[in-house]
Amino acid sequence: MKKKLITPTLEYLKFGNVFSGGVENFNFKMFPDVCENKVKIVVWEGKNCCEKSKSLFEETFDLSLGGFEKAIAWLDDKYAVADIK
């Protein structure tokens, strides 16, 4: 059974804080844009940082409660189907 991803709260992102996390070789980073009221999520594989890796998935969501819920569901879905060693 896969471990559960740890994600930030909506409030954390609304203050403009970047968040990165992951489990084993599945990694993600959340880039909030408070001015645009959006959050971009990048998913990559491996031990390197986001900037030194090729992204597997990228998506942008509204920085609202509904958008945040969709973002977490999207991220959980990518993690659930990931075949990352």
For the beta carbon of residue 85, count every other beta carbon within 10 angstroms: 8
Within-domain flag for 5: no
Within-domain flag for 3: no
Q: What is the number of domains present in the chain?
A: 1
**19-30: per-residue pLDDT in tens?**
999 999 999 999
CA distances from residue 56 to 1, 10, 11, 29, 31 in whole angstroms, order as listed: 22, 24, 26, 12, 16
Within-domain flag for 4: no
Domain that holds residue 44: 10-81
**34-59: per-residue pLDDT in tens?**
999 999 999 999 999 999 999 999 99
Within-domain flag for 76: yes
Confidence of residue 1 (pLDDT cuts 50, 70, 90): low
Within-domain flag for 1: no
Q: How far apart are CA 18 and CA 31, in angstroms?
A: 5
In terms of phi and psi (left: phi > 0; alpha: psi -120 to 50; beta: otherwise), the region of 11 is alpha
Within-domain flag for 15: yes
Worst-scoring range by mean pLDDT, 60-64, 67-71, 72-76, 79-83?
79-83
